[in-house]
Amino acid sequence: MLAGGSWQRELAQGFRKVDELLSYLGLGGHPTVDPQQAAAAFPLRVPRYFADLMRHGDPADPLLRQVLPVAEELVGAPGYVADPVGDLGVGIGGGLLQKYAGRALLITTGACAVHCRYCFRRHYPYGADAAIRNRWQAPLEVLSRRPDIVEVILSGGDPLSLSDDNLRALLNGLEGLPHLRRLRIHSRLPVVLPARMHPELIEMLGRSRLAVSLVVHVNHPREVTPRLGEALAPLRREGIVLLNQSVLLAGVNDEPMVLAELSEGLFDIGVLPYYLHQLDPVAGAAHFQVDDDRARALHENLSARLPGYLVPRLVVDRPETASKVPL
- Residue 265 is assigned to a structural domain of this protein: yes
Report how far Cα 13 is from the mean position of its chain's Cα atoms: 21
- The domain boundary, picked from 74, 100, 119, lies at 74
Give residue 128's pLDDT: 66
Q: Above 80 in pLDDT, residue 148?
A: yes
Same domain, 107 and 48: no
Query: What percent of the chain shows pLDDT beyond 70?
Result: 93
Give the mean pLDDT of the chain.
92
Q: Which amino acid is at 283?
A: A
Is residue 208 within 8 Å of residue 179, measured between CB atoms? no
pLDDT over 60 at 35, yes or no: no
Query: Which CATH number characterizes residue 321's domain?
Result: 3.20.20.70
Task: Tell me if 281 is assigned to some domain.
Answer: yes
Whether 317 and 236 map to the same domain: the answer is yes
Q: What gap in Å lies between CA 61 and CA 76, rounded to an integer?
A: 24
Shared domain check, 160 and 110: yes
End of a domain among 74, 105, 126?
74
pTM above 0.85, yes or no: yes
Q: Which residue has the higher pLDDT, 128 or 122?
A: 122
For 275-295, how does the pLDDT look when each residue is reduced to its tens digit (9 = 90+)?
A: 999 999 999 999 999 999 999
Q: What is the average pLDDT across 66-81?
A: 92
Residues 30 and 199 sit within 8 Å (Cβ to Cβ): no
> What does the pLDDT read at residue 179?
98
Q: Who contacts 52 (Cβ-Cβ below 8 Å, separation ≥6)?
A: none
135 assigned to some structural domain: yes
Q: pLDDT tens across 149-180, in order?
A: 999 999 999 999 999 999 999 999 999 999 99
Parallel/antiparallel/unpaired status of strands 91-93 and 103-107: unpaired
Choose one of 74, 103, 121: the last residue of a domain.
74
Average pLDDT over residues 205-226: 98
Shared-domain flag, residues 126 and 190: yes
pLDDT at 325 (0 to 100): 81
Of 126 and 57, the one with more pLDDT: 57
pLDDT tens digits, residue range 311-321? 999 998 887 77
Based on the fold, state whether residues 43 and 155 are members of the same structural domain. Answer: no
Residue 81 located in a structural domain: no
> Residue 322 burial (CB < 10 Å; 0-12/13-18/19+)?
exposed
Written as one letter, the residue type at 181 is: R
Mean pLDDT for the stretch of residues 250-276: 97
**142 and 29 in a common domain:** no
Is residue 64 domain-shared with residue 101, that is, in the same domain?
Answer: no
- Note whether residue 79 is domain-resident: no
Asked if 55 and 155 sit in the same domain, the reply is no
Once rounded to an integer, what is the mean pLDDT over residues 298-323? 90
| Same domain assignment for residues 178 and 202 | yes
Question: Given a cut of 80, is residue 31 above it in pLDDT?
Answer: no
More confident residue, 111 or 127: 111
Which one, of 187, 188, 193, lies nearest residue 49 by Cα? Answer: 193
Q: How far apart are CA 320 and CA 99, in angstroms?
A: 9
Burial level of 143, CB count in 10 A (0-12/13-18/19+)? buried
80 in any annotated domain: no
Question: Does 268 lie in the same domain as 189?
Answer: yes
Is residue 131 assigned to a domain?
Answer: yes
Gap between the Cα atoms of 84 and 106, Å rounded: 18
The pLDDT of residue 214 is 98
Q: Quick one: 65 and 146 in the same domain?
A: no
**Which pLDDT does position 2 carry in this prediction?**
41
Amino acid at 92: I
Which residues are CB-neighbours of 165 under 8 A, at least 6 positions away?
none
Spatial CA neighbour of 191 closest among 17, 4, 50, 309: 50
With respect to residue 1, please indicate whether it lies within any of the assigned structural domains. no
Contact 282, 118 (CB under 8 A): yes
How far is the CA of 30 from the CAs of 18, 60, 182, in angstroms?
10, 11, 46
Exposed, middle or buried, 142 (CB in 10 Å: 0-12/13-18/19+)? buried
Range of the domain at 52: 6-74
If asked whether residues 11 and 92 sit together in one domain, one would say no
Number of domains forming the structure of the chain: 2
**Of 315, 322, 247, 281, which Cα lies nearest the Cα of 90?**
322
